[in-house]
Amino acid sequence: MAETRTSTLHTTPVGDDGEPVVFLHGLFGRGKNFTRIAKDLRPDFRSLLVDLPNHGRSAWTDRVDYAQMADSVAETLRDDFAAAGPVAVVGHSLGGKVAMVLALRHPELVSRLVVVDISPTRTGGGEGEFAHLLDSLAAVDLSALERRSDADEALKESIPWDTTRSFLLQNLRSGEDGFSWEPNLELLRTSLDAIGGFPDTGDAVYEGPVLWIAGGRSDYVRDEHAPVMRGLFPRAHRVTIREAGHWVHSQAPEKFAEVLRGFLAHTGD
């Protein structure tokens, strides 16, 4: 997979043929988190995996702002992947909010939208957990690391869950000057209130088809969120993958890919 940097965003294409699909990851993530799903969609779909600002190999910014992030994605898509016309956009969690704002601000770029386990509302309950994870990463003495496994060992006490540590350690980069974290940990830590919110989008409404996927073991999508969701996205259809939690695409990848493929291939409402 060739990797490119268009504008300020780092992107990775997967597949050469088929209808275009863009993937936007969640907090602590990177575009490559969707590699398995993108590969499962071949050869009918070609994908673009995007590193959002302050994540992966994309540029850091001085603030976290959903409109700014959506506009950065729009600029990237106009320059290349969506130059020939609108594309399907899939966003999880933080990336789901960016995807929704993208569709509301730049509807001409989005042919259909998939929002994964997040709502266009204030996200409650997760700030404490996210603050703990960010503080734990920031506390690692990077200058003392000789290998990646040293970081894993350093995090075991504060983050005892193997799968969570493995996911977070994907953000640890080794270079000539030693190890560094790819995400902008300090900015993300001080911006958790903004990350948990959802911006005022005025009177904007996205009229295209929307698939709203919830994890059955997650509480980020609730019945009381439905009126707000359908006010902004009147053609939203909700599906719950019961065996999954918040990280639907990694906890139930086969079912997620099946549901996603069915929606992307559907030509009607």
Catalytic residue among 55, 92, 106, 246: 246
Q: Which residues contact 184 (CB under 8 A, 6 or more apart)?
A: 54, 55, 60, 61
Catalytic residue among 93, 111, 218, 250: 93
182 is catalytic: no
- Residue 69 carries which side chain, given as an amino acid letter? M
93 is catalytic: yes
Q: How far is CA 176 from the centre of its chain?
A: 29
| Token duo for residue 58 | 């994309």
What is the number of helices (H) and of strands (E) in the chain? 11, 10
CA distance 231 to 49: 29
Cβ neighbours, 10 Å, residue 179: 19
Q: Cα dist. 189→82, 164, 227, 240, 243 in Å?
A: 32, 18, 31, 30, 30
CA distance 121 to 25: 18
What one-character DSSP code corresponds to residue 158? Answer: T
DSSP 15-72: -SSSEEEEEE--TT--GGGGHHHHHHHTTTEEEEEEPPTTSTTSPP-SS--HHHHHHH
- Residue 123 carries which side chain, given as an amino acid letter? T
Catalytic residue among 127, 153, 186, 258: 186
72 is catalytic: no
Cβ neighbours, 10 Å, residue 232: 18
Instruction: Please give the order of strands across the beta sheet that includes 19-24.
Output: 4-6, 9-14, 45-50, 19-24, 87-92, 110-116, 210-215, 236-241
Catalytically active residues are 93, 186, 246
